[in-house]
A and B are shown apart, each in its own frame.
Chain A
Amino acid sequence: MITKRIIPCLDVRDGQVVKGVNFEGLRNISSPVELAKFYSRCGADELVFYDITASSDGRKLFTDILCETAKNVFIPLTVGGGINTVADFDRVLKCGADKVSVNSGAIRNPDLIGEAAKLYGDQCVVLSVDVKRVDGVFRVFAKGGRENTGLEAIEWIKRGVANGAGEIVLNSIDTDGVKQGFDLEMLEAVCNAVNVPVIASGGAGKIEDFITLFKTLPKVDAGLAASIFHFGEVAISDLKNEMQKSGIPARI
């Protein structure tokens, strides 16, 4: 049986992990390569590297780090951030990325999904969407959640899948950072609309939030989080053990 995936997300700027990291016995690790190795040992099913660099020097540093990671970590790697053209896909795929996540780049140029899917296959194209309720409607936000695009989220996601996106990362701005659990209502709406894997993001604060997620919405394929893993609030091995105890298929 296929397992539910647990995915830590690493924000990388100028070659360093952005959010602080504070594990017992592993303090102040800022090297993305070391952190990726650590997560892989702990049982992470996949890693997301998110490039939040603005400068071109930083971008080069990011791809160098990606290469170094792919030389040492042998689980799937998804790369996002700054993906605006198929040349950006090529740049990160050559460095060992397996999947590439598009967000603002697809909003600016909706053809990007289709072009990339044709070149690299649907399985390679991940559509990442930041969604927030505005007057009771799910709206797509751009620029890291600062700008309402006016796009209705479910329609946007359906269109992305029709164009070739092979996976959806749904980040609820409403629950992000609140640590009171994933946005089950929003996730259910997306799961009912598409038949590709859906990754839940935004809101996890504790192990039970993942259990509730997978129990309530069996159609969700994976849970993604950043700071709760980085700060050691949730250890991936504990999370996996709890999932297994609760009858949720997990790779241990």
Chain B
Amino acid sequence: MTAIIDYGVGNLFSLVSSFRKIGEEAVITADPALLQKADRIILPGVGAFHDAMEKLNASGLVPVLREQIAAGKPVMGICLGMQLLFDKSFEYGEHKGLGLISGEIRPIPSENLKIPHMGWNALTFQNGKHPLFADINEGDYVYFVHSYYAADCDSAVIATSEYGIDITAAVAKDNVMGCQFHPEKSGEVGLTILKAFCRMKEGALC
């Protein structure tokens, strides 16, 4: 079972639907016991970094999330959920993140480029081919909507997409993973990535 953390940010209908589509049980929950029971955890998020981080802290779920990560449970942040995994963000000021992956969130440089980076962009794998991408190909397209990106995180980057600069598309550090794009809105490619994630279990990432 996959637990999708409900901390009052965004709308999780498509996300939970995408797991059901691939035959994986998924629950939207703010119950610490369910996060402990789950085989894997999704940290979703849309909106502004500071607001989301405040809500996540207020949910009281951060300690159990940290505990489950320390135990080796696979965790994936999606979009803003990925950004929250980092040390800090410069979206509307400077705000502290979860610090699970080192690096920081900066605005996409906007000279000659439309912001947000919105649409389908191709993945270039980095640091080898991560198990999340076991069943997709380099150059496959995924759907992005974001105005900030993760920087200074080279060793954790597992995929980038080109948008003027190399945008961090996905990151991983041991059992903590993150996608800047929306796998639940990326058609078959996205569902295939979620399937790969659902094969992961505590202590077994591939």
Contacts and interface: CB of A to CB of B under 8 A. Distances in A.
Nearest to B162: A1
Contacts of B191: 74
Tell me if A's interface is mostly helix, strand, loop or mixed.
loop
Contact of A197 (B114, B162, B184, B186): B114
Given A75-B187, A76-B185, A70 B14 contact: yes
Interface in A1-33: 1-3, 5
A245 interface: no
Size category of the B interface is 20 to 34
A71 B21 contact: yes
A75 B191 CA distance: 11
B21 A72 contact: yes
Interface string B31-73: 0000000000000001110000000000000000000000000
B143 A75 contact: yes
A203 to B, nearest CB: 22
Given A71-B17, A75-B187, A121-B46, A2 B116 contact: no
B129 interface: no
Interface stretch (A53-61, A89-97, A176-184, A227-235): A89-97
A1 B121 contact: yes
A71 B12 CA distance: 12
Please classify the interface of chain B as helix (H, G, I), strand (E, B), loop, or mixed, using the class held by over half of its residues: mixed
Interface residues of A, number: 29
Nearest to A4: B119
Contacts of A93: 11
Contacts of A67: 13
Contacts of A2: 117, 119-121, 144, 163
A3 B48 CA distance: 26
Nearest to B117: A2
A2 to B, nearest CB: 5
Interface string B176-192: 00000000111110110
A236 B48 CA distance: 35
Most buried by A among B46, B48, B143: B143
A167 B145 CA distance: 12
Given A71-B20, A121-B46, A121-B47, A76 B143 contact: yes
Contact of A74 (B14, B144, B147): B14
A122 B190 CA distance: 24
Interface string A126-154: 00000000000000000000000000000
A62 to B, nearest CB: 15
B121 A98 contact: no
A45 interface: yes
B120 A45 contact: yes
B25 to A, nearest CB: 15
Interface string B131-150: 00000000001011101000
A90 to B, nearest CB: 9
B168 to A, nearest CB: 15
Contacts of B144: 2
A197 B120 contact: no
27 contacts: A1-B122, A2-B119, A3-B121, A3-B141, A5-B120, A40-B187, A45-B119, A45-B120, A70-B13, A71-B21, A74-B17, A74-B21, A74-B186, A93-B11, A94-B13, A95-B13, A96-B11, A96-B13, A98-B14, A121-B46, A123-B118, A123-B145, A166-B116, A167-B118, A197-B114, A221-B119, A251-B120
Interface of A: 1-3, 5, 40, 45, 67, 70-72, 74-76, 93-96, 98, 121-123, 166-167, 195-197, 221-222, 251
